[in-house]
Structure 1
Amino acid sequence: MVHGASGKTVRLTVAQAIVRYITAQHSVVDGERQRFIPAALGIFGHGNVAGLGQAFAANLDQLPFIQGRNEQSLGHIAVGYAKAAKRRQALAVTASIGPGATNTLTAAGLATVNRLPLLLLLGDTYATRRQGPVLQQLENPAAPDTTVNDAFRPVSRFFDRISRPEHLMTALPQAFRVLANPVETGAVVLSLPQDVQSHAHDWPVEMFEPRDWKIRRPLPDPAEIGEIAELIRRAERPLVIAGGGVIYSDAQREITDLGRSTDLPISETFGGKGAVLEPGPFQVGGIGLEGTPATNHLAQHADLIVHVGTRLTDFATASQSLFAADARFASVNVSEFDAIKEGAVAAVADAQLALRALADELGDYSIPAAWREEIAREQDAWAPKRAAALDPDRAFVRADHPDAPVTNAVITQGQLIGVLQEHARSGDTIIAAAGSPPGDLQKVWDATDGRHAHLEFGFSCMGYELPAAIGVRLADPNPEHRVTAFIGDGTFLMQPTEIVTAAAEGIGFTLVVSENHGFQVIRRLQMGKTGRHFANEFRYRDESGASLHQAVTEVGETKPGRLEGDYLKIDLIEIAHGLGAETHYVETADEFRAALDSTRGATHPVVIVVATVPQVDLPGAEVWWDVSPAEVSGDKVVEELYDEYLEGRADQKWHG
C-alpha cells in the first residue's frame, strides 16, 4: 500500500506519531510564525505512561514537558498561557484514564466557554475488550462503547476517540484547524485508548513535515461598516462595549484611537478589561453587574450600543435589564453567532480591521456635546468614590460598618487593591477569576498604560488563578513584569498545589490572598436573596445543638449546631511555605507595600496573605441581576425579597 505522495513511510506508535506531529505545527499571524504547541504538561498513570509517556520522554528536545500535581490545574496553566498568548499558541495536556482524565473536564469547559485553545490528550480504556472490565472503566450495559471521556463531548469544540491508528491522519489536522480558528476554538480532546497509544503503524513521512496554521483576519464588508457608521452619526447617545475579542485581535490601539478621535465612550467587559490603552474622557471603565455606576448610568441612557468582540453575557447586560427599551445595537465580531446578539446590525469581521475601517468611515465625526457633558458628569461623580474606596492610608472606621466581624484586619479589600494599583507597572499582569476579586477589579482597576488585566469570568472558575499565573509567566518570562494572581482564602484552599510545580521549575509569580475568612461574595449574595447567611464563612460549628457526628447518626432526632462559631484557625502561610513558596503575612498597607517591593523580580513563587476586613465591599454597580429568591418559603423576609426581585425582572427586555 502506498502512503503519501512520496510513498515513503516511517513506523511509529500512535503516541509517537501524535508527539512528532505536534512538534511540526506552527501558527502564523500577520506574518509572524511560531510553534503552535511549544510545550506539554501532564501526570502519568497506567493509562498514558507506556504510550504517551514514552513518546514525550523520547522527544524532550523538541517538546519540553512539565510535571504537574493536579490535572485540572494543568489544564488551567494551559488556558492561562493561551489567553496570555492571545490564542496564537496553546499547550498540550495529557492525563491518564478515569479520574485523571475527568479532572481536566473543568478546564475543558473553561477553555470552550472562553474561546481559548486547549489540547487535551486523554487516556481511555482499551479499544480491544479481551481484558474484561479494566481498572477505572465505566460499564454501561446499554452502551458498551461509552467511557467517562464521553463526558467531554458537550464541553469540547472537537472530540475524537482514536480507536485505530489510521484515525489520526484525519483527526490531527481537524484538531489543529479548530485550535487555530478564533470562531471555533476551545477545548480539543483526543481520547486515546491505552492499548492503541502503543500500537505501531506505517505513517506517510509527509504527515510530519512542518505545517503552518494561519489565524485569519476576516475582512470587513464596506457596506456593513458604512451602516454601522451611519447609525453612530444618527445617534444622540452612542456607547461602545469592548470585549475580549478586541484584545485577541490586537485591536487595542484601534479602539483607543477611535475613542480619542470621536469621544465615543468605550466601556469594557471582563474579557475586554484593558482594551483601552490610555486614560481619557472616552475611557469609561467596566460595564454591567460589576461595572461602575457611572458606566451603567450611561448604558441605561444610551440610544445606540456598539458591541465589539464580546459574547454579551448576563453580567455585561445586567441580565438584559441594563439597556433602554428603544436602544439600537450594532456590532463587530469574528463570530456571526455573537455578532447578531441583541438584534445588532453586524459586521462579521476581525476587530482590528473593522475598527480601522469604521474610523475611516466616520472621518471627523464627534459625539454630540450634550452626551459629552453627561459622560463627564458621571465620571466626575464616580472618581472620588473610587478614590476613597481604594485609599490605602484611610483609616478603617468601624462605626461605618458596625456589622462587620471583628478580626485582626485593619484594611479592606478595596484598600488592598489600592496598594496593588500603586505598585503596578507597565508589563505587569493581574489575574482573577472567581469570588469578589474579578468583580472588584472590573469596577476599579486601571488597566491602561500597559497594565494587563487577565480576568477569566466566562466560567468564573475558582482555582483557575494560581495555575493560570504559571501559564502567563510561561508566556512572558520577563521577571520584571510582575504576574499576580489575586484570590480569596476560599479559592486558595481549593487548589494551592501547583505552588509545588512553580517551585520545582523556578517559575516566579505572586499570589495575593485576601484573608477574609470565607466565601464572602456568595455570603453577600445570600444575604441579598434570603436575608440570612448560612455556610459561607469559615467558622467552627457552635454549641447550639448536637455535634455533627451525633446529628448524622441520629438524623431526624437531633439538630446539629450552626456553623456560627469562631473563625477557623487556618495558617495559610504555613501551607504555602510547606508547598515551596516564599511567604509574607501582612496586616497594614505599609507592610503590604514592603512585601511587594521586596519580592518584585522573584524567580520563585511568592505568597502574600493580606488580612482584610470581612463584609466590607466596594460601592455597588447599581444594576440588577437575575438571581431569584425562593418563590415559596413561608418566610416574610424571603417573600419581600421575592417581591423586589419581581420588580427588577420587569426591567428585562428583549432586543431583537
Structure 2
Amino acid sequence: MVQGISGQTVRLTAAQAIVRYVSAQYSVADGQARRFVPAALGIFGHGNVAGFAQALAEHADRLPFVQGRNEQALGHMATGFAKATKRRQTLAVTASIGPGATNLVTAAALATVNRIPLLLFPGDTYATRRQGPVLQQLDLPGTPDVTANDAFRPVSRFFDRIARPEQLLTALPQAFRLLANPEETGAAVVALPQDVQSHACDFPVEFFEECEWVIRRRVPDTNEVAQVASLIKQAEKPLVIAGGGVIYSEAQQTLTDLGKQTRLPITETFGGKGALTEDGPWGAFGIGLEGSPTTNALAAEADLIVHIGTRLTDFATGSQSLFANPAVRFASINIVEHDAVKQGATAAIADARLALEGLTAELENYRVPAVWGERVEAARAEWLPARAAALDPDTRFPKEEHSELPDTDAVLTQGQLIGLLHEHAQAGDTIVAAAGGPPGDLQKVWDATQGRTAHLEFGFSCMGYELPAAMGVRVADPDPAHRVTAFIGDGTFIMMPTEIVTAAQESIPFTLVISENHGYQVIRRLQMWRTGEHFGNEFRYREGPGAEAAAGALVGAVHKAEMAAARENRLEGDYLKIDLAQIAGGLGAEVRKATTSQEVRAALDETRDVRGPVVIVVPTIPHADLPSAGAWWDVSPAEVWEHVDTSEKLGEYSEGLTLQRWHG
C-alpha cells in the first residue's frame, strides 16, 4: 500500500490506475485547458486483453476507446491528431506484445523525429518470468531482461518498463511532463508486462485528481533577439526559413506581419508549409530539394539565413550545398537549443511567437535593401507563371511529344491533379501528405495561405502515415465545413489502406485522393537521376522467356544458366492490374474513379459532405514531373557496376560534393 497526503487509498490494477490517471490529465496552453488525452486507440491480444482491455471496458466513460486494424496506423492517427492540435493534445495507443508492440516502433520514431507528443502502452512479456519463455518472447540467452519492447529505446524520448504497479506513481508523471514540454516532446512509451497489468495495488487517491500540465512559452532573452535583429540590419541579402515550430507556436500571423513590415523574404520547409497566412512580396515559396528553383537561387545568394523553428534537414539545405555565398552567416529562433545552434547560428532560444514579436519591435524602422527586394520580386515573377502552367488542369498534357513516357489511360499529370485539389480547397480545409511524390510536389506548388492548411510529415518520410493521420486531423477538427484530404500515391495506398475500416466504423469523414501512377515513381526518378537505370520501383508483371526461371530463383531451385536467364527478365512487363477503387469500396469507403479534370471536379464536389471515408482514384501520367527545384542531394551512385557505365553519374555526383560546405 502506498499512502498519499490524506492517507486514503483506492485499490486498482495497474491498468485501471493508468486509465484513471490518463483520463484526469489536462494540458494548459495560453490559459486554455483541455483533456490532454481524450481517447485511447488499440488492438487487443493476449498481452493486453486481460489487463488494459478490462480497464478500458470498466472506465469507458472516462477514456473512450477506438478499435483499429494496424498498430502502426493507430500511432500515426494519434500523431496526426497531436500535430493538428499544435501539440496541445495527443491520443493513447495500446498494443499486445510481440508484433503488436513492435508495429508501434515506426510510429514512435516518426513522432520523436517530428517532435510530436505520442503516448504508447505496449504490452510486454511477464515480469515474474515463471511462465517463460512465453509466446512472442525474444528469449535471448545472454540478456534475459531484454524484450522486443527495448526496440523503443532509441526512437522514444521516454521509455519505462513497469515491473510493479507502484512504479506508475513516478513513471506516468514523468511521461506527461515530457509530453507537455515542447523542448523535449516525442514518443513516451510505458511498457506493461502482461501480468503486471492485472496486478493490484493500493494507490493514493490524490494520484487520480485532475492535474494540469502547462505547455510553457519560453520567454526570449532580449539581448539574443537584439543580436538576431542586428545581423538582419547588417545583411544585404537576408532570407528567412520558417519551419514547423512557427506553426506549433501559432506564430503564423506574427511572421506574416514581420514580412509585411520589413519585406524580409520568407521561405518554408515541409514542416513549415503554411507558416505564412497570406501571399505577398515577402513570400518566397518552398526551399530545398523539392522547393521552388527560384527560391533555391535566392538561398544561394543570401548572405544571412535566419532559420526559425526548423531542424534544417538535408532536404532543406540541399545536403549542405544550398547556401553558397562565401560570406553567408546564420541566425535562428528555436525553442530547442540543439536545433537553434545549427549552422553555427547566432541563436535566440525561445518560443517562436514571443521571439518574433520581439524581433518585429527591434526591426520597426527596418526595410530590406531595395536591390535585394527587387531580386526577390524578380524571382517570384519568374516562378509564378511556371507554377501556374504546371498546375493548369485544363491544358492538355502533350503526351505525343513525350515518347519516353509509358502509355496509360491517364490524361492528367500529378501536378494537374494538385491544381484541381487546390481549386477545390477552401479556408479551413487541410491537405495531408507524408512520403513519395505528393509531399514534394505540394511543397513546391501548394499555396497554403488564406486558411488552406498543409499537414506535411517529411521528417521521417513515412509511407502509410497519411491515411490514419488524416483521420487524426479530422478528430481534432470535427467542423463539417472543413474538408480533410490525404493525398497519396498508389504505392502508399497498397501499403496500408486498412484504417478505412476504422473510419467507416467510427463515421470519420475524410477524403483520400490516390494519384495512380503505377509504382514508387519518386524513387524511380531518384534512381534514374543517380544511376540512369531503373529497377524494382514500378508495379509491373514479370514477363518474358526467363520469367519462369526468375520465379524459381526465388526459392533457389534453378541452375546457373537459369539464373542468367532470370536476370534478363526483371519486372518490366505490363503494369499490374490493381483495382484500387474496388479495394477501397470493399473496406467501406465511398468511392469515385475520375480520369478527366471535369470528372475530378465532379467527384470532389459530390463527396464533400459525405459523413465517412471517401476515396477518389485518379490515374496520373507516370514520369511527368513538376519543374526541378535545381537543388543537389547527397545520394551516391555505385562506384562500380558490371553492366552499366556510371562514370557520367559519378562525375555529376562528385561535382555536387564540391558544393557542400560546413557552416559553424
What is the TM-score with the length of structure 1 in the denominator? 0.99
Q: Which segments of structure 1 move beyond 3 Å, counting only runs of 4 or more? A: 634-637
Q: Match of 1:24?
A: 24
In 1: Cα distance, 2:313 partner to 2:132 partner:
47
Q: Match of 1:545?
A: 546
Q: Match of 1:326?
A: 327
In 1: Cα distance, 2:400 partner to 2:182 partner:
52
Identity %: 68
Q: Match of 2:580?
A: 572
> What amino acid is aligned across from residue 389 of structure 1 in structure 2?
A
Contact 1:321-1:652 at 8 Å conserved across structures: yes
In 2: Cα distance, 1:130 partner to 1:620 partner:
61
> What amino acid is aligned across from residue 433 of structure 2 in structure 1?
A
Contact 2:414-2:620 at 8 Å conserved across structures: yes
Q: Match of 1:191?
A: 191
Q: Match of 1:242?
A: 242
In 2: Cα distance, 1:223 partner to 1:38 partner:
40
3-state secondary structure, aligned to 2:233: helix
Cα gap change, 1:164 to 1:610, in 2 (>3 Å): same
In 2: Cα distance, 1:400 partner to 1:87 partner:
48
In 1: Cα distance, 2:634 partner to 2:254 partner:
34
Asked if 1:147 is matched to 2:147, the reply is: yes
Cα gap change, 1:631 to 1:196, in 2 (>3 Å): same
> What amino acid is aligned across from residue 552 of structure 2 in structure 1?
Q
* Pick aligned residue for 2:633 from 602, 614, 625: 625
3-state secondary structure, aligned to 1:642: helix
Deviations 1:457-516 (A, max 9, x none): 000000000000110000000121000000000000000000000001100000000000
Q: Match of 1:644?
A: 652
Deviations 1:399-451 (A, max 9, x none): 43221101001110000000001000000000000000000000000000000
Q: Cα distance, 1:177 vs. partner? A: 0.5
Contact 1:544-1:562 at 8 Å conserved across structures: no
Q: Match of 1:581?
A: 589
Contact 1:401-1:616 at 8 Å conserved across structures: no
Q: CA RMSD in A?
A: 0.9
> What amino acid is aligned across from residue 502 of structure 1 in structure 2?
A
1:27-106 matches, cutoff 5 A: 27-106=27-106
3-state secondary structure, aligned to 2:373: helix
In 1: Cα distance, 2:396 partner to 2:209 partner:
64
1:487-526 matches, cutoff 5 A: 487-526=488-527
Q: Cα distance, 1:640 vs. partner? A: 1.3
In 2: Cα distance, 1:398 partner to 1:105 partner:
43
3-state secondary structure, aligned to 1:50: coil
In 2: Cα distance, 1:73 partner to 1:612 partner:
26
In 2: Cα distance, 1:136 partner to 1:531 partner:
44
> What amino acid is aligned across from residue 511 of structure 2 in structure 1?
T
* Pick aligned residue for 1:613 from 621, 624, 649: 621
3-state secondary structure, aligned to 2:440: helix
> What amino acid is aligned across from residue 556 of structure 1 in structure 2?
K
Contact 2:344-2:663 at 8 Å conserved across structures: yes
* Pick aligned residue for 1:554 from 551, 558, 566: 558
User: Alignment length, in residue pairs?
Assistant: 656
3-state secondary structure, aligned to 2:69: coil
3-state secondary structure, aligned to 2:109: helix
In 2: Cα distance, 1:362 partner to 1:147 partner:
55
> What amino acid is aligned across from residue 560 of structure 2 in structure 1?
G
Deviations 1:291-350 (A, max 9, x none): 001111110100000000000000000000000232000000000000000000000000
In 2: Cα distance, 1:401 partner to 1:483 partner:
35
Structure 1 stretches lacking a partner, 5+ long: none
In 2: Cα distance, 1:2 partner to 1:621 partner:
61
> What amino acid is aligned across from residue 545 of structure 1 in structure 2?
G
In 2: Cα distance, 1:410 partner to 1:528 partner:
25
Q: Cα distance, 1:542 vs. partner? A: 1.4
Q: Match of 2:179?
A: 179
1:149-228 matches, cutoff 5 A: 149-228=149-228
Contact 1:235-1:304 at 8 Å conserved across structures: yes
1:459-498 matches, cutoff 5 A: 459-498=460-499
Contact 2:2-2:166 at 8 Å conserved across structures: no
Q: Match of 2:602?
A: 594
Contact 2:2-2:202 at 8 Å conserved across structures: no
Q: Cα distance, 1:635 vs. partner? A: 5.2
Asked if 1:653 is matched to 2:654, the reply is: no
Deviations 1:245-303 (A, max 9, x none): 00000000110000000000000000000000011010111000000011111101000
In 1: Cα distance, 2:399 partner to 2:28 partner:
56
3-state secondary structure, aligned to 2:645: helix
Q: Match of 1:127?
A: 127
Q: Match of 2:417?
A: 416
Contact 1:43-1:95 at 8 Å conserved across structures: yes
3-state secondary structure, aligned to 1:103: helix
3-state secondary structure, aligned to 1:306: strand
Contact 2:179-2:186 at 8 Å conserved across structures: yes
Deviations 1:541-589 (A, max 9, x none): 0114141333331153413222100111000011000000010111100
Contact 1:159-1:190 at 8 Å conserved across structures: yes
Cα gap change, 1:311 to 1:594, in 2 (>3 Å): same
Contact 1:633-1:639 at 8 Å conserved across structures: no
In 2: Cα distance, 1:626 partner to 1:633 partner:
19
3-state secondary structure, aligned to 2:646: helix
Deviations 1:600-650 (A, max 9, x none): 121110000001111000000011000000122245631210111000010
Q: Cα distance, 1:122 vs. partner? A: 0.6
3-state secondary structure, aligned to 1:376: helix
In 2: Cα distance, 1:375 partner to 1:354 partner:
25
1:397-412 matches, cutoff 5 A: 397-412=398-413
What is the TM-score with the length of structure 2 in the denominator? 0.98
Asked if 1:444 is matched to 2:445, the reply is: yes
> What amino acid is aligned across from residue 288 of structure 2 in structure 1?
G
Q: Cα distance, 1:190 vs. partner? A: 0.4
In 1: Cα distance, 2:561 partner to 2:32 partner:
70
1:256-271 matches, cutoff 5 A: 256-271=256-271
> What amino acid is aligned across from residue 133 of structure 1 in structure 2?
P
3-state secondary structure, aligned to 1:637: coil
Contact 2:2-2:203 at 8 Å conserved across structures: no
Deviations 1:217-260 (A, max 9, x none): 01100100111111000100000000000000000011000000
In 2: Cα distance, 1:132 partner to 1:367 partner:
69
In 1: Cα distance, 2:144 partner to 2:560 partner:
41
> What amino acid is aligned across from residue 601 of structure 1 in structure 2?
D
Contact 1:288-1:296 at 8 Å conserved across structures: yes
In 2: Cα distance, 1:343 partner to 1:203 partner:
49
Q: Cα distance, 1:2 vs. partner? A: 6.2
Asked if 1:528 is matched to 2:529, the reply is: yes
